[in-house]
Amino acid sequence: MREWFIVGCGWLGTAFGRSRLQLGERVLATRRDLSLLAPEFSSVSFARGAAAALSDRESFAGVLFAAGPAGPSVAEYQAVYEDLLNELLDVPAISRSRLLVASSTAVIGDARGAWIDEGYAVPPASPTARVIYDAERRLASHHGSACALRFGGLYGPGRSTLLKTLILGQPSYTHQPKHFVNRVHLADCVGAMGHLFITGALAPELFVVDDEPASQLSVVTWLAEQYGLPTPIAREPRRPNNGSKRCSNARLKATGYRFRYPTFREGYAALAAELGLRRQG
């Protein structure tokens, strides 16, 4: 029976783990607070170090590193993407397994709204995003079967704040009409990871984003029109964005993966249906 190992079993890691359990496979997982771990997973503590905790494992069907920092500081990012990741790369069972590391489109700097692929090499301006960017470089040189997954903005069941805000009649959007946001539904995050693990089609980095980067204005306007929700009101950005770019998913598609929700329209329509909303007209 296949056994999977998940490091950082929050929203994304839990969804992936449950997809493996549905196939009758085993999941070993860990997270910062083990009391919050989904009860259906087997747990392991790193209190004595990762190597000691995994000394009885030869390898895994796949290892997902989806750990997140405890807070917003550079030091907290380094604790995850330097200290913890480096420790794991030295564990024999992990070095013998396919490894996917959750990264972000934020590791790429501003492209002024242009379409880019994984070869676009402008580092991010954000110090915390730079920590993740540097981790990608180390990963590529230390593990022969690893891939950094540059996820766009994740949304899906359990993470639908934008839609719920519209429903509650408190609609607003960030007034940046030329700022493109790259998104991806949780179901496609899980689907893409399963596909890459099984096929072994691992490039050093892959954008995991849907087909259509779109401004927040485009999304909230579409939702309001489709579901008869309040017209959104513009507000100024609360903090600088990480640069406008439209990330291409062509390399991921070339591995044979097909999106369940190719744009925000299909993804948010599914969320709206789950919340009991009906389209107008």
- pLDDT given at position 176: 63
pLDDT for 200 beyond 70 = yes
- pLDDT given at position 277: 86
The predicted-structure confidence for 23-72, as pLDDT tens digits, reads as follows 999 999 999 999 999 999 999 999 888 999 999 999 999 999 999 999 99
Higher pLDDT, 229 or 42: 42
- pLDDT given at position 239: 58
Q: Are 184 and 245 in contact (CB under 8 A)?
A: no
pLDDT bucket at 131, cuts 50 / 70 / 90: very high
Q: Global pTM?
A: 0.94
Place of tokens 């029976």: 1
In angstroms, rounded to a whole number, what is the distance separating the alpha carbons of residues 69 and 61? 26
pLDDT for 240 beyond 60 = no
- pLDDT given at position 232: 74
The predicted-structure confidence for 241-263, as pLDDT tens digits, reads as follows 667 899 999 999 999 999 999 99
pLDDT for 279 beyond 90 = no
Place of tokens 């598609």: 253
